[in-house]
Structure 1
């Protein structure tokens, strides 16, 4: 990328198995899994009965009663993560022009859990053909509009600059951070609070993924259900969570003596223009995105030391990724460690991209590559 150099100076993560970046990293580095049988609702009617849930009480994390009432669970995640990232960075937001402090938040499914719950209230559990408006909560509007996530974060940290919600499916978190980097590069902001959040573990979401057979039916041993790149994998495990970062220009971070986790040197995004859930077998569009990101970072394939893969655990995705890595990195792909943290924290849809950025930054910080859990019989076609 041209323009100003952008660095990460604050990180906060809410993930299954632990709230907080430290707890998240401990889970990953120890190779522990957070997948369990679903407790949020009765999962018995569904094909998949396991998920990676977060033990989360919003009041314990500083949210006031009125904030809890008006925010869906995913918005709560985003606000708690944003406040944590700002605290971790040590930045004084009040010292900046508020119109140059921006927010970008990614989400794939928005306030799905909140909408699911509210529909049950206003329709008497689905028994009413027309909703009873007497039971419609004032905060239902907040659940309806995805922009409320970024608005709540901006309100929480006092950011009055660019404000955007990015929704590009499973890449929402990466694209949210990429957009924030672009705004900093071009000089449209001095500080960006960026990341993503999703809380999709609800009956309606489970039904959607059941219908396309994307989630695993393996529930005999929930801890072993998510098996990226394994020959016995048969779908992903739904998760939830958020990761938010403070991004700023390198020289500004140096001047204030900030701790720098990582520099974001290159970013690219591409579409396969092929199918809503299907992937081209050759991995061409993903390989193109990797190649362009490397070009923008002015790096070559041999400088890559680790790949944090999407690694969802579906038959199609993991083979597609393997081909994309080979296509873009050549022989160096065989010499580069590859792992998927979804084996431990599940697939939190739009949140997972930023959670994986956090995992990569913390891996560099700690000089440890997180493992792929449950990889006992590698798929011969996933041979990296």
Structure 2
């Protein structure tokens, strides 16, 4: 019997919306959650715009000990994981623990806490030799990204395969793809999976300033993220998390679970070309798309909506536009495409999962989220990017793509479920 993975629970911590309802309300309204950074004084930096989460860890059920000990990105994952488990109608340990696993994506791990501890142990960067006596006792956990997945596993009593996937900006997409494959090959029946990152910190801003990847549109923070618009000039750094409960389809149906979407196909490629550059023809992304559709046994004409990477950099927007045309052919011109990064920014390793959440909800509600701030089209980006306003549509199949530094290109196909119930 063919094993298929389905999404039965969703948890979201996103800019402008904590929880699935608030997140979906933000997207369908076309509102943006980008603003001037408030986590610290960003004025010395080239780009001072961010998409921050209004996150209260205690209100989300974390204990005082967890708030003190855990990095912000790990706190996101615990909170979103609990949301997803509750949404799926499960409690920790209810699924057979050895058949339950975790696949967590993160691009930069515990960056916020690592930077804070470096500043503390180096006396604000003035001492070459750091003082270990000034460090927190759990500093080692910040250095080891596997600690993030372990925390999630402990919280849900997952004793099966547990891993961290770190492939840059495709991490959140790749982690879900890995989880789906573990279910399909019989290694697990339930996977808690998604991506989390909290990279809005001085060191991250400095790194992106150096390569001029983030937008300098500091005087217009609410409209600074402009994917596919002719006036775009870089992405807006964000933060956030989305976690899913993935289950083997027959198991989910047997317990009467609500199924948001079926994970039908996934593929990842690398262009082996340049750390930050992209080939203009989009060949590697196109190959990932075609392979994912092939695994789903779907023709390109079956795609009803494309959730684009849409970072808001000229090279990316043109690269993936070319990839859509190459993979979907003439159907690319008839398919709505949009980028939610226009509203929630680019949260690096988390955004792929946040976008999967948007795709599953688009299928659930029959609505295509818009591309906010798209007023002036780039002539080289000539597809239907659903500008400004959400659009009702009959969505049976969604394609979601991601593109990351190092040349990573990933694609996932999600479809409307058959035979689910509440």
Same fold (TM over 0.5): yes
Quick check: 1:270 aligned with 2:269?
yes
Specify the alignment match of 1:39 in structure 2: 38
State the distance in 1 between where 2:151 and 2:93 align.
17
Specify the alignment match of 1:6 in structure 2: 5
CA deviations 1:240-269 (Å, max 9, x no partner) are 000000000111111101000000000000
| 8 Å Cα contact 2:93/2:158 also seen in 1 | no
Q: How does 1:335-346 map to 2 (within 5 A)?
A: 335-346=334-345
Q: CA deviation at 1:94?
A: 2.5
CA deviations 1:315-337 (Å, max 9, x no partner) are 10000000000000000000000
Specify the alignment match of 2:112 in structure 1: 113
State the distance in 2 between where 1:117 and 1:232 align.
35
Q: How does 1:25-36 map to 2 (within 5 A)?
A: 25-36=24-35
Structure 1 runs not aligned, ≥5 long? none
| 8 Å Cα contact 2:268/2:288 also seen in 1 | yes
Specify the alignment match of 1:141 in structure 2: 140
Specify the alignment match of 2:74 in structure 1: 75
Quick check: 1:195 aligned with 2:227?
no
Q: CA deviation at 1:48?
A: 0.4
State the distance in 1 between where 2:66 and 2:156 align.
14
SS of 1:59's equivalent?
Answer: coil
Specify the alignment match of 1:368 in structure 2: 367
Structure 2 runs not aligned, ≥5 long? 384-422
- Point out the structure with the larger strand share: 2
Quick check: 1:63 aligned with 2:100?
no
CA deviations 1:257-303 (Å, max 9, x no partner) are 10000000000000010011110010000000000000000000110
CA deviations 1:108-149 (Å, max 9, x no partner) are 000001111111111111112211111111111111111111
TM-score, normalization by structure 1: 0.99
Specify the alignment match of 1:287 in structure 2: 286
Q: How does 1:159-308 map to 2 (within 5 A)?
A: 159-308=158-307
State the distance in 2 between where 1:50 and 1:186 align.
43
Specify the alignment match of 1:98 in structure 2: 97
Q: CA deviation at 1:96?
A: 2.6
SS of 1:219's equivalent?
Answer: coil
CA deviations 1:68-118 (Å, max 9, x no partner) are 122100000011111110000002442332111000000000000111111
SS of 2:192's equivalent?
Answer: strand
Structure 2 CA distance for partners of 1:68 and 1:92, relative to 1, 3 Å: closer
SS of 2:58's equivalent?
Answer: helix
| 8 Å Cα contact 1:162/1:189 also seen in 2 | yes
4+ residue runs over 4 A deviation: none
Specify the alignment match of 1:332 in structure 2: 331
Specify the alignment match of 2:315 in structure 1: 316
- Point out the structure with the larger helix share: 1
Deviates further, 99-108 or 41-50: 41-50
State the distance in 2 between where 1:230 and 1:183 align.
39
Specify the alignment match of 1:49 in structure 2: 48
TM-score, normalization by structure 2: 0.90
Q: Give me the CA root mean square deviation.
A: 0.9
